[in-house]
Structure 1
Amino acid sequence: MGEVTTSLQRPVTNEGRSRLVRHVDSFEIQPPTPPSHNGVPRSAWTRARRRVSRWHRPYIAILLLLDFGSAAFASWIAIQLFDQAASGFSGTHQDPTWFHTVSYLLLPLGWVVILWSNRAYDRRYLGLGPDEFKRVIRAAVTVAASVSFLAFATKTALSRWTVGTALLGALLLILWGRFVARWALHYIRRRAGQAAHRMVLVGTLPECLEVYAAVTRSPAAGLVPVAIHITDGYAAARGMPTPVPVHAGRDVLALVREVGGDTIAVCGSASAEPGELRRLAWQLEGSGVDLVVAPQLTDIAGPRVHIRPIEGLPLLYVEEPTLSGPALLAKNLMDRVAAGLGLLLLIPLFVAIAVAIRISDPGPVFFRQPRVGHEGRTFRVWKFRTMYVDAEDRLASLTDQNETDGMLFKMKEDPRVFPVGRFLRASSLDELPQLINVLWGEMSLVGPRPLPADDGDFLGDVRRRLLVRPGMTGLWQVSGRSDLSWDEAVRLDLYYVDNWSLAYDLSILWRTVGVVLARKGAY
């Protein structure tokens, strides 16, 4: 085996990795490097320090202070709100010092200990995904159960209002503190490229490049590939452009240390080699390097993936998408209720927009266009008109100026849009009349955006978008809107279809608020 050399070998920063392009040029034959570790048992009390990516240590320390302070502050609020009833909490009328010790020290410490036992400070769950918040809620249930048990066992007279307010307030404050901490962490990752894990990808070059593209789509995830170690296809790799240095025939752990990495991602077929993955895990024991396996299952969310071991063989089960059942009924009910209330509350705004449109350009206030909906059914979408009345006649002369590569025509400076219409598009106010479509059951609050019906039949992967009702907002909109390529927009829509859940809808609705306020990708 040999090493693939590249034209650039300096480390790649988070900011510049998308601009650097390397080419796999040649191979240098070198003797194989013996593994640095063979799985010999070590002391259970010693563990190698991580050489890089120590961001989690100060981050966890901040979380500890935030959680303790949140619990203590919640106790203070409860005591202030129910000062009279608080005299029964831990017998404060007899020993105020003990009462304040329990309220401001022991109870917050109990929160921290139980959060720790629920792995709410585990770096693997921090900064990404819902697991961190689930563990906080699970810890809150444990704290409530523990307080109830101790009160019952010691026959302590507790003020239910005080205790309930302290526990619920602590939960809400801890969740809010972690949300703010996560926002700050994501900001640092996006802006400075810091507080991230440096990954070495192991597998064939196409598999590694696919994983590279997946993990770099979201800088907030904090995964920065810094090198690729290919296991096969050396000849085919020559001359291929690569965003990071490519190596072969190296001891992986030595390569990780050389490039300053702290995580190894085994991609695709490389994880299927009999015994190789197990031996690599043995080699990494005590090294402070994480091992991640990226199977050949892209765009499938965690809730659909389950590991079921059979006779020592871990089988990865992929469940079918959930496109029916009680959750879908709850989604439909939420859509209808929210649309009805929204239309009633927005009547004054609708009147103001209608007047502004009529003053800007005489003609109809609403624009209705045929769109393809659930299971291919056609409906007419409601929108505020943002273009001059002769916009359709002028479209033919602007076709060659289309700035997208998909089925929709988009121009950042479309001359057919009048000034008020430009504001309505930038603020997404032109989409509000689609609440009528939601109320009638033709659309949903969240889902793939409905595409025009005059673009022909949807073929291949695009047709899968029709398995769910189109939405006023969706994963496409909160991930870049018109700035995305057509292929990327389709990928996001298909991801939503395959991994839909009611919680995911609520998350997208929350993200929509920030996207609308930022006016990102709206034109």
Structure 2
Amino acid sequence: MTTRPTRPGDPGPVAPTEAGDDRRHMRRDSRFLPMLAGPAGTAAIRRVFSVAVLVTLDVTACFAGIYAALALKLLVQDQPVDAGAIWAVEQKALPLAATTLVLVFAKNRLYSPREQRGGAARMLSSVTLATVIVLVVVLVAGWRFDTYYIFYASWFLIGAFVVALRSSYDSVTALALDALHFERRALLVGAPALVATIAESLERSESRQGVPYRVVGRHQLTAGLGREALAGPAADLREALDPAAVDEVILTGWAGEDGPVLELLDICRRRGLPVRLAPTTAELLSHSVQAVPAPGLPLFDLRPPVLGGAEFLAKRAFDLVAASVIGILVSPVLLIAALAIRLDDRGPVIHRSRRVGVDEQEFDCLKLRTMRLGAEGEQDDLEHANEADGPLFKIRDDPRVTRVGRVLRRLSIDELPQLWNVLRGEMSLVGPRPLPRRDFERLDDLHKKRYLVLPGVTGLWQVSGRSDLSFDELVRLDFYYIETWSIWLDLTIMARTIPVVLGRRGAY
């Protein structure tokens, strides 16, 4: 029991109750409704405002797209733009089109927080789905129209307006948040080694979308978080759970009894602090989780990250078509690069690097040669200069790289021959990066699970920081890609690869 000094008019010492300190943290917000008190309430208000603005932008884009399609048709037909006639059509079409668009956007999580909304690919696929749904409803309802022009014209224009308005909104709000130095203050709780890794990943906010994180504390989860814990790690953690200093709690790596976790959740609930779970590498290995029947105990089926069946066929078909088209387009660049390599040192143009692919099968990864002859035999002498963490080997100013090779590496032109690996079925355009045998042998068993799918020419780690990322971040991004794969995601990553390569971010 603790006491506090008395003052004039003070009723005297007060013995704290089990939840007394929690009431102390909540008291200043008691004038509000309980659901709107504390950080959780503030976040809820921001979310409602954000969703309202996004819905307004989407309805505006829908109105503008239909209006522009009808006006453009009149202009093409050399007729005057009759705003009254267009509005008469809008009054009939807009409610159905806007409602369908908003519902599809909501289903596809386009009203989620900015880190989860997705980019232009998800917006355009959602607009496409909404257009198809409206077309089906109109046909079933028997609406009369003379041409399908309004559907494909509106699809194109609404998509363009949605992307433009939402991109503008994201840019403006990002600038505003940056000017206000807005950030999420995170308290990390869990095993020390995992907490350190999570802290490093969170604080690399300059290469991520959304509000940056600032880690304000790191604590190990222990038993006995009750009010009777007056000293030691448990007391320190309980005191650190202050809504005035923390916006959310991130838990990771707890493998002990459930009691401490339940105590932590209860304290955070009382104080209005959201709790997030940062998965370990093992937990990321679950491609999908499905409940399975078991007597008296809920069990879940964990599936490894594998693309199979229809997904694999769709991805393979996409790879064949896209790699063929890209190969034809970049063939002049390849010819110029090959000529430069030959003129530089008269050596071979193509370098065959033994890499580990799907199911741990080795293959020759084709690259334009960027190092002097015999460079692989010199690697053992350079191990002391390795700048990469984990099993990777990277040197920013590798002395083995030729003059021409430095240019090719900076622009990733040396990777273009891997299009042939894609056509041969040894690689995919997008996927986890294949590692040399030296790096692969240093992986632990969990990390080797990234080789359950075809390796890729580019991937999420290339567009999220490339060589600036730690190895743990690379593995997490690979597992996330496998879990959320879609053709749209592949297209998005390929589109984002171009400015990353041209900007030469993280390349060496």
TM-score (norm 2): 0.72
Bigger share in strand: 1
Q: Which structure ranks higher in relative contact order (CA pairs < 8 Å, sequence separation ≥ 6)?
A: 1
Alignment of 1:259-298 (within 5 A): 259=245, 261=247, 263=248, 268=254, 272-273=258-259, 283=270, 289=272, 291-294=274-277
> 1:83-105: per-residue Cα shift (whole Å, max 9, x none)?
29999xxxx99xx6753434567
How far has the Cα of 1:435 moved from its partner? Answer: 0.8
- Is the CA contact (8 Å cut-off) linking 1:63 and 1:178 kept in structure 2? yes
> 1:392-444: per-residue Cα shift (whole Å, max 9, x none)?
46545544322224445422222322222111101101100111111111221
Q: Equivalent residue for 1:478? A: 463
Q: Equivalent residue for 1:83? A: 74
Does residue 1:350 correspond to 2:334, yes or no? yes
- Is the CA contact (8 Å cut-off) linking 1:386 and 1:421 kept in structure 2? yes
Closer, same or farther: CA 506–301 of 1 in aligned 2, 3 Å:
farther
Q: Provide the C-alpha distance between the structure 2 equivalents of 1:451 and 1:250, rounded to a whole number of angstroms.
A: 45
Which amino acid is 1:416 matched to? R
How far has the Cα of 1:324 moved from its partner? Answer: 1.6
Closer, same or farther: CA 246–349 of 1 in aligned 2, 3 Å:
farther
Closer, same or farther: CA 410–116 of 1 in aligned 2, 3 Å:
closer
Give the count of matched residue pairs.
Answer: 473
> 1:291-320: per-residue Cα shift (whole Å, max 9, x none)?
345276656399724689999998766444
SS state at 1:477 partner: coil
Q: Provide the C-alpha distance between the structure 2 equivalents of 1:151 and 1:176, rounded to a whole number of angstroms.
A: 30
Closer, same or farther: CA 495–81 of 1 in aligned 2, 3 Å:
closer
Q: Equivalent residue for 2:423? A: 439
Q: Equivalent residue for 2:222? A: 232
**Structure 1: unaligned runs, 5 residues or longer:** 3-28
How far has the Cα of 1:66 moved from its partner? Answer: 2.9
Q: Provide the C-alpha distance between the structure 2 equivalents of 1:327 and 1:342, rounded to a whole number of angstroms.
A: 22
- Is the CA contact (8 Å cut-off) linking 1:127 and 1:185 kept in structure 2? no
How far has the Cα of 1:58 moved from its partner? Answer: 6.1
Q: Provide the C-alpha distance between the structure 2 equivalents of 1:400 and 1:278, rounded to a whole number of angstroms.
A: 46
Give me the identity figure in percent.
30
Q: Provide the C-alpha distance between the structure 1 equivalents of 2:95 and 2:437, rounded to a whole number of angstroms.
A: 60
How far has the Cα of 1:325 moved from its partner? Answer: 0.7
Q: Equivalent residue for 1:448? A: 432
- Is the CA contact (8 Å cut-off) linking 1:483 and 1:521 kept in structure 2? yes
**Structure 2: unaligned runs, 5 residues or longer:** 3-14, 226-230
Greater shift, 378-387 or 425-434, is seen at: 378-387
How far has the Cα of 1:387 moved from its partner? Answer: 2.0
Does residue 1:73 correspond to 2:61, yes or no? no
- Is the CA contact (8 Å cut-off) linking 2:356 and 2:440 kept in structure 1? no
Closer, same or farther: CA 52–454 of 1 in aligned 2, 3 Å:
closer
Greater shift, 47-56 or 361-370, is seen at: 47-56
Which amino acid is 1:220 matched to? Q
SS state at 1:387 partner: coil
Q: Provide the C-alpha distance between the structure 2 equivalents of 1:420 and 1:126, rounded to a whole number of angstroms.
A: 44
Does residue 1:101 correspond to 2:90, yes or no? no
- Is the CA contact (8 Å cut-off) linking 2:305 and 2:479 kept in structure 1? no
Closer, same or farther: CA 186–384 of 1 in aligned 2, 3 Å:
farther
Q: Equivalent residue for 1:7? A: none
> Which residue of 304, 316, 332 corresponds with 2:316?
332
Q: Provide the C-alpha distance between the structure 2 equivalents of 1:360 and 1:45, rounded to a whole number of angstroms.
A: 72
Greater shift, 397-406 or 290-299, is seen at: 290-299
Alignment of 1:437-516 (within 5 A): 437-453=421-437, 457=441, 460-496=445-481, 500-516=485-501
CA RMSD of aligned residues (A): 5.1
- Is the CA contact (8 Å cut-off) linking 2:186 and 2:217 kept in structure 1? yes
Q: Equivalent residue for 2:351? A: 367
Q: Equivalent residue for 1:26? A: none
Q: Equivalent residue for 1:17? A: none
SS state at 1:169 partner: helix
Alignment of 1:368-407 (within 5 A): 368-392=352-376, 395=379, 397-407=381-391
Which amino acid is 1:475 matched to? L
